[in-house]
Structure 1
Amino acid sequence: MANPLRTLTRAQFHAYFAALGGWSLDAFDFFIFVFCLKAISGEFHTGVKSVAEGIFLTLAFRPLGALVFGWLAEKHGRRPILMLNVASYSAVQLATAFAPNLATLLALRALFGFAMGGEWGVGAALALETLPAKGRGFFSGLLQEGYVIGYLLASIVFACLFVHVGWRGLFIVSSASALLVLYIRYGVEESPAWVAGVVARRASAAVLWAAVKGYFPTLCYLVLLMACFNAFSHGSQDLYPTFLQVQHGFSAQTTGNIALVMNLGALAGGICFGALSERLGRRGAIALAAALALPMIPLWAYSHTAVMLAVGGFLMQFMVQGAWGIVPAHLNELSPPSVRAILPGFAYQLGNLAMSRMAPFQAGFAESHGGDYAHVLSWTLAVVVIALILVTALGPEARATDLRVSA
């Protein structure tokens, strides 16, 4: 089978790489905070649960960012707003490094969530409106795994640099994401669907509202679907480093190494199931990946050695991100072109908002049960997997829709 990346034109490759890079660095900045929860709580003399409120605030403000930046992208184009997104979340990341207290840090995580919320929808619209329909499952899988690439990069940076620069130094390092703006500015062209003019001319408030109303039943379904998806990923990832450090007493380096192995599995899973969705359909591939996560729970949550936890983490994230790899294509195929920069991202982030209490809930439950993170991680994930399979099976599918058409 030919490498699908080799079939892309120069313009298609650069647009795709910009979207992948934006999402990867966005996730990198997010997960730097996740890896530093324990260290931040120690400096500010508070519990992990209090600092984990920063995860909630990030997720809670993402829908607002998706709506605002998505609307700006319909009005002014995908490319300039993607640049604004990247610059914004990088600036907030730098400011976080100098937070004097917990209250300031939490306020900055809310601002980060606003900036982060716009990137996925705008970047995915730019990429998928530029790419051909053939091989979209593969490209969707790799694009969504930008989230995993960000996690992987964060785990490497945490393992290598944390002991030398501390959590504040890691935030300074991660603010270098702003350099991607230069690549977008000089190497990326605008979406051909947007340049055609139809989307831009329709981006009035009245027409956008009419499109949202017409799309409302599907939007409600997608929000429910994305709530399940976000519970699946955040429920299996956000507190896993804390679980490794607190319940197993692993060092920062060991924790980072396990996260590295987990994310290699996640990256492989997203690409494999994304490509598989071309054969099984989007819904069939999602349901298969989710179902295969269930037998991985004992190895992932209840192993006793670093090696076996790494194996369990690899297999679990292969399935979690295998399902997630189908999401960019699935959501964009179900969205009308006039609001494609708004509604997929808005649905995604509303689903995030619905599950934004996942990490604080899991942390609070574990702390109230003697620090037993394994128990809460396992039963919450089992419930989420069953819900995801059911919701996916009940929904629509529009595989192979031509996203390059503007109307």
Structure 2
Amino acid sequence: MSLVAELKGLQRKQVHSIWASYLGWTLDAFDFFLLVFMLSAIAKEYGTDIKTVSEATFLTLAARPFGAFVFGWMADRFGRRPIMMIVILLFSLFSFASAFAWSLTSLFVIRTLFGFCMGGEWGIGASLVMESIPIKLRGPVSGLLQSGYPTGYFLASLVYFLLFDAIGWRGLFMVGIAPAILVFLIRMHVDESPAFEKRRHERPANPIGELVRNWKIALYLVILMTAFNFFSHGTQDLYPTFLKEQHHFDTKTIGLLAMIGNVGAIVGGISFGIWSEHIGRKRAIIIASLLAIPIIPLWAFASTPVMLGLGAFLIQVAVQGAWGIVPVHLNELSPALVRGMFPGFAYQLGNLIASRNGPIQASIAESHGGNFGLAMAIVAGITVVVLVVWTAIGPERTDVDFLTEKTN
């Protein structure tokens, strides 16, 4: 059956689950990426430097695995749907609260709380949708789901492009309350995961016990996601700062180039997600990652807006092409009883290890006369090699039926 026919065969409740999870991750990323456009403005207001303010991105990323564990455990205990609504409401409120930070320290605290809540969304949303759709659609839907991340970045770029000069960084954080609206849509239209419903009355799994029992695959996935997070954050988080500080572009140009990059990310994520159904998860990740190598010089060292835009588009096709397989790959490798917690926790623990990316890149740039392009190129190049090797030696499991799989 063709992909189009498979999509047409989806039930309405399955479509609602897909869109809810996609939008949840989109708006989660939107709130996160608002900050990366405002590092310079925040540093100026508080009389400090970009390296210091970039600690806010570190704290946000560092808090995410703790949120993934807590909210993931709750999702395995009480259901994916209600906990996802709670998570979305909380991270929206903390994004809004960031606008009222009275000092740099208070901003750090608020962004840490935001990161804790943000950490719960991805794993819960991914398990909800992967447990609700046919096996043959997991790859394409995985690409769509992960494309919510660059879509959120695109929206943040657009809001920055349209509003920053008028409302400033505090006003942009106020826009971050918008994702809370999604809670009402989930409440009205999204059903619980059928795999969770089937096991609702089973004795809840001990999350610590399951992690210990499955420690080998847990360790493998944490290292894999560490590489993945250096790949994404190493090519995204300081990109607006690179354009502003090194190329001295204005707000409109920075916003436009970021949007171009995220269009490439959406194309890559969806395309490689679909392709992974034909060539396998591992092979799709490896090919997408390797595509980044010849693009890095153009992306990091071009001098004109046109060539930088081309580099931004192509590098994100590669980066998010690899990322498009992550939701399905992690869910297929996760133990059934803790699928709400396990993929998200592994993902966000990798995020914790990679969370120093912003300060590391800022330090490299500072030590080379403000050369952010060099810093981004170094991190991206090293990460590609690690990601390809680690993916190649790891496991793959594409045929598991989430409704009938054994739980012991």
Question: In 2, distance between residues paired with 1:2 and 1:281?
Answer: 16
- Counterpart CA distance in 2 for 1:212 and 1:382 is 32
For residue 286 of structure 1, report the CA deviation from its aligned partner: 0.3
The 1:89–1:254 alpha-carbon spacing in structure 2 relative to 1, beyond 3 Å, is same
CA distance in 2, matches of 1:369, 1:83: 45
Give 1:79-158 correspondences, 5 Å limit.
79-158=81-160
Between the aligned partners of 2:113 and 2:208, the Cα distance in structure 1 is: 26
SS of 1:130's partner is coil
How many Å apart are 1:203 and its aligned residue? 1.7
Task: Map residues 264-303 of structure 1 onto 2, 5 A cutoff.
Answer: 264-303=263-302
TM-fit CA distance, 1:173? 1.0
The residue that corresponds to 2:233 in the other structure is 234
Tell me the secondary structure at the aligned position of residue 48 of structure 2: coil
Cα contact 2:79–2:192 (8 A) shared by 1: yes
1:343 aligned partner: 342
Letter in 1 for 2:34: I
Superposed counterparts of 1:59-78, under 5 Å? 59-78=61-80
* Structure 2 residue 210 is the aligned partner of structure 1 residue 211: yes
Superposed, 1:379-394 pairs within 5 Å as: 379-394=378-393
Q: Is the 8 A contact 2:136 2:277 kept in 1?
A: no
Q: Which amino acid aligns with 1:60?
A: A
> Which 4+ residue blocks in structure 1 deviate beyond 4 angstroms?
none
Contact 2:31/2:156 (8 A) holds in 1: yes
Distance, in Å, in 2 between the alignment partners of 1:297 and 1:204 is 44
Task: For residues 96-120 of structure 1, give each alpha carbon's deviation from its aligned partner in whole angstroms, at most 9, with x where no partner exists.
Answer: 0100110000001100110000000
Give the alignment's TM-score, normalised by structure 2: 0.97
Is 1:11 the counterpart of 2:10? The answer is no
Residue 58 of structure 2 aligns with an amino acid whose one-letter code is F
Deviation at 1:124, TM superposition (A): 0.6
1:175 counterpart residue number: 177
Give the distance between the partners of 2:9 and 2:22, measured in 1 at CA. 17
C-alpha distance after superposition, 1:311-351 (max 9, x if no partner): 00000000000000000000000012100001100000010
SS at 1:304's partner residue?
A: coil
Offset of 1:404 from its aligned partner? 3.4
Distance (whole Å) between structure 2 residues aligned to residue 352 and residue 404 of structure 1: 29
* Closer, same or farther: CA 402–269 of 1 in aligned 2, 3 Å: same
**Contact 2:205 2:337 (C-alpha < 8 Å) held by counterparts:** no
Identity of aligned residues (%): 51
Match of 1:253 in 2: 252
Question: What aligned pairs does 1:35-54 form with structure 2 within 5 A after superposition?
Answer: 35-54=37-56
Determine the structure 1 residue equivalent to 2:203: 202
The amino acid that maps onto 1:402 is D
Partner residue of 1:325?
A: 324
Higher mean C-alpha deviation, range 395-404 or range 354-363: 395-404
Alignment: residue pair count? 404
- Give the match for residue 262 of structure 2: 263
TM-score, structure 1 as length reference: 0.97
- Structure 1 residue 200, shift from structure 2 partner: 5.3
Structure 2 portions without partners, runs of 5+: none
Q: Using the TM superposition, give the Cα deviation of residue 204 of structure 1 relative to its aligned residue in structure 2, in angstroms.
A: 4.4
- The answer on whether the counterparts of 1:230 and 1:351 sit within 8 Å (CA) in structure 2 is yes
CA distance in 2 between partners of 1:404 and 1:387 (Å): 34
Counterpart amino acid of residue 140 in structure 1: S
Partner Cα separation in structure 1 for residue 287 and residue 375 of structure 2: 24
Work out whether residues 194 and 406 of structure 1, in 8 Å CA contact, stay in contact via their aligned partners in 2.
no
